Amino acid sequence: MPCLYISTNVKLDGVETDSIFSEATKAVATIIGKPEKFVMVILKGSVAISFGGNNDPAAYAEVVSMGGINSAVKKELIVTLGTILESKLSIPRTRFFLKVYDTTLGRNKSKL
């Protein structure tokens, strides 16, 4: 059950967010290999974010998934989600940071 959490300093008032949700859901599901019906996307705008010492449009995101994460998947998520944010919110890819977690292993490497 992947979850994508996006925080941005861009104001979302007047922004058509439905397409962001649908494109991000489809991208995460396809790249990680999970059904879309299990993907959660959270988008929070107007967050106080400074990147490189200025407040130009920027975003921080996290992807958490139970399995399906490897180096190739991480790279594809960065490129694809960066493209979505750039096209929908005018956030340059150079001002987007993505953290990816695989929660498959619990304590003592047991399955969660």
Domain parsing of the chain, residue ranges: 3-109
Architecture of domain 3-109: 2-Layer Sandwich (3.30)
Contact assessment for residue 78 and residue 43, using Cβ atoms and an 8 Å cutoff: no
Read off the pLDDT of each residue in 43-58 and give the average, rounded to a whole number: 98
Taking only the tens place, the pLDDT of each residue in 55-83 is: 999 999 999 999 999 999 999 999 999 99
Residue 48's alpha-carbon distances to 22, 43, 54, 56, 94, in angstroms, are: 25, 14, 11, 11, 18
| pTM of this structure | 0.90
